[in-house]
Structure 1
Amino acid sequence: MRRNPFDELEDVLDRVTRQVEEGMNAGTGFPVPGSVAVDVVDAGKEYVVTADLPGYDTDEIDLTLSEGVLRLDASREEDVSVEEAHYLRRERTRRSVDRRIRLPEPVEEESVTAGYEDGVLTVRLPKVDEGEDSKHIDIE
């Protein structure tokens, strides 16, 4: 029996999608330009997001949370004095990175904290408690 050619195309697209997702999520596969590697950990009562941002100052990092999406933007300005230099090799250029991370559950936006040490940004996002305001609904 002959195989449907659209099945083959679908297999190829699935494989490419997996490789791109691996590049974005696991640091393997295709590198994603302008992106930054992150880890997102479910630590029980909070999510902990860590991102490698070596060479950035805290004032070059913009971190926002809106509608369940953590947005990380970082832009490193080029040193004006080096523009006149005669480079033999130049690999460390001005670089901007950004990343959007959708959180699986609501978080206490007022209680989010962030720290930056040795080029690693750590964001702690406490989950919303199911306090007395919420009511469990039984299904009959």
Structure 2
Amino acid sequence: MRRNPFDNIEEMLDRVSRQVEEGMTAGGLQVPGSVPVDVADRDEEYVVMADLPGYETDDIDLTLSNGTLRLEATRSGDAEYVEGRYIRRERTETSASRRIRLPEPVDEEAVAAGFENGVLTVRLPKVSSGEDSQRIDIE
């Protein structure tokens, strides 16, 4: 039986992703534009917690597709300062993203997300599910 040549590429990308995630966990490596996350396996569900200080709920796009949770956040810079001039301006438009591959299928219809004090918490109950993409509303 012949293997699909794209299987090798997907295996390589998964291996690189695991190595980067292990490096971030072990050595505190922070990739620019990457969101620091904790992923907990709590028997009946996975709980993903992501630090997104300075972002609002509307700035965050959260989707689940084919066992991968995709988080993207974009923050616009403040409106122009009118009453004077900036001495230093570092708070400009920024974006961050992260993809988290889940080890087991989850019930996409029962996924819940909340955002409080700059921490996004996503609860993903375990069960088998379909292959369609599901958008997740943040409460």
TM-score by length of 2: 0.71
The equivalent of 1:24 in structure 2 is 24
TM-superposed deviation, 1:26 = 5.1
CA change 1:41–1:78 in 2 (3 A) is same
The answer to whether the 8 Å contact 2:114/2:120 transfers is: yes
Secondary structure of the structure 1 residue equivalent to 2:58: helix
* Separation in 1, partners of 2:18, 2:84: 43
* Separation in 2, partners of 1:77, 1:27: 31
The equivalent of 1:46 in structure 2 is 45
CA change 1:25–1:87 in 2 (3 A) is same
The equivalent of 1:9 in structure 2 is none
AA at the equivalent of 1:48: V
Unaligned runs of 5+ in 2: 1-16, 129-139
Supply the RMSD in Å over aligned alpha carbons. Answer: 2.5
* Separation in 1, partners of 2:31, 2:82: 28
Unaligned runs of 5+ in 1: 1-16, 130-140
The aligned runs of 1:36-115 (5 Å cut-off) are: 36-82=35-81, 86-115=85-114
The answer to whether the 8 Å contact 1:107/1:125 transfers is: yes
Paired residue total? 112
CA change 1:18–1:57 in 2 (3 A) is closer
* Separation in 2, partners of 1:67, 1:84: 50
* Separation in 2, partners of 1:67, 1:23: 25
AA at the equivalent of 1:33: P
* Separation in 2, partners of 1:127, 1:19: 25
* Separation in 1, partners of 2:88, 2:113: 35
The answer to whether the 8 Å contact 1:36/1:98 transfers is: yes
CA change 1:23–1:90 in 2 (3 A) is farther
Larger radius of gyration between Structure 1 and Structure 2:
1
Higher RCO by CA contacts (8 Å cutoff, separation 6 or greater): 2
* Separation in 1, partners of 2:57, 2:27: 24
The answer to whether the 8 Å contact 2:38/2:48 transfers is: yes
CA change 1:74–1:105 in 2 (3 A) is same
CA change 1:127–1:18 in 2 (3 A) is closer
